[in-house]
Amino acid sequence: MAKNPSDPSDESASDSKSGTDKKSVHADQTGTDSSEQLIAELREAVRARDDFLAVAAHELRNPLTPILLSVQFMRRAEQSGDNVKVSSELDRLEHLVKRFAARTITLLEVAQISSNKFLLKPSKLNLSELIQRIVNEYTPLVVRSGSELISNINNGVIVHLDELAVSEIVENLLSNAIKYGEHKPIELTLTEANGVAQIIVRDNGIGIDNKDKNRIFERFERVVGRETRSGFGIGLWLTRNLAESMGGSITVIGQPGVGSLFTVTLPLELGRIDEQ
């Protein structure tokens, strides 16, 4: 029997089939979108894992260096029979190990910086004493690198900040100065004025080009030859985020071949810098 072109039943069947096809296409598209989203989420999870491993490696490597150096000094003192020096180095080593243990506990918090979930633990802190202690710990490392550490620390600078975060800032800046200071003098200054504390670390090494002044604070960015400098390029990224998480900031000035000057400005109380 021939089909009637005007038969409404034929049009209904055709429309029904067309609708089924459209639903099938939509379902396929939805399935594809879901798969792509899942793949993107898995890739992001892998990237987050790799980022955390890089952060962990950096954060654990920095304090290990002065620990190992202290052990070396202790061995030499023991061989020479200098019991006073051995006792002094044991005290310093105990303090370094305690700080190393505390830092491992905070690694997860540091890794959460980029997701704005980093938790600070502010407490009343003598910033002058803290920085002087770090200077004492890093002086042997500076000397071994062929540099000289000159410090000018104002006494009695009291703040209400996170001690570990401040320690990481100072240690990262000193480690950076040692790495790129070209065996020349390194200067560290602490001042207080107008309700803020300023930590300044100056080196006289390879310096920095103006075009790189912002890029060096990004994660995994380094602006010198990778074949001659070790590291992940993450120290200054951590320093910037730690300073900003406490309501502070970091800036850098310098010229190639002349050196770099890093200035960290921190409020005396967490998250508060008075408007000037």
Among 119, 140, 173, the domain boundary falls at 119
Beginning with the edge strand found earlier in the chain, give each strand of the sheet holding 249-255 in spatial order.
Answer: 149-153, 186-193, 196-202, 259-267, 249-255
Among 81, 98, 119, the domain boundary falls at 119
Residues 49, 91: Cα–Cα separation, whole Å: 36
Examine the domain organization and report whether 187 and 113 are in the same domain: no
pLDDT at 25 over 70: no
Domain annotation covers residue 41: yes
Examine the domain organization and report whether 164 and 206 are in the same domain: yes
High-pLDDT (> 90) share of the chain, %: 30
Domain around 64: 20-119
Q: What is the pLDDT of residue 102?
A: 62
Domain annotation covers residue 10: no
Q: Report the predicted TM-score, pTM, of the whole model to 2 decimal places.
A: 0.62
Query: Which secondary-structure segment (H or E) carries 170?
Result: helix 163-180
Examine the domain organization and report whether 234 and 259 are in the same domain: yes
Domain annotation covers residue 15: no
pLDDT confidence tier of residue 111, bands split at 50, 70 and 90: low
Residues 209, 183: Cα–Cα separation, whole Å: 20
Q: If 0-12 CB within 10 Å is exposed, 13-18 middle and 19+ buried, where does residue 182 land? A: middle
pLDDT at 203 over 80: yes
Residues 166, 2: Cα–Cα separation, whole Å: 89
Q: If 0-12 CB within 10 Å is exposed, 13-18 middle and 19+ buried, where does residue 248 land? A: buried
Domain annotation covers residue 59: yes
pLDDT confidence tier of residue 228, bands split at 50, 70 and 90: very low
Domain annotation covers residue 71: yes
Examine the domain organization and report whether 107 and 220 are in the same domain: no
Whether residue 99 contacts residue 65, with contact meaning beta carbons closer than 8 Å, is answered with no
What CATH number has the domain bearing residue 235? 3.30.565.10
Examine the domain organization and report whether 234 and 191 are in the same domain: yes
Whether residue 127 contacts residue 166, with contact meaning beta carbons closer than 8 Å, is answered with yes
Q: What is the pLDDT of residue 199?
A: 98
Please give the tally of structural domains in the chain: 2
Examine the domain organization and report whether 206 and 262 are in the same domain: yes
Whether residue 149 contacts residue 139, with contact meaning beta carbons closer than 8 Å, is answered with yes
The partner residues of 198 in beta bridges, in order of sequence, read 191, 265
Among 70, 99, 119, the domain boundary falls at 119
Domain annotation covers residue 42: yes
What CATH number has the domain bearing residue 111? 1.10.287
Examine the domain organization and report whether 176 and 45 are in the same domain: no
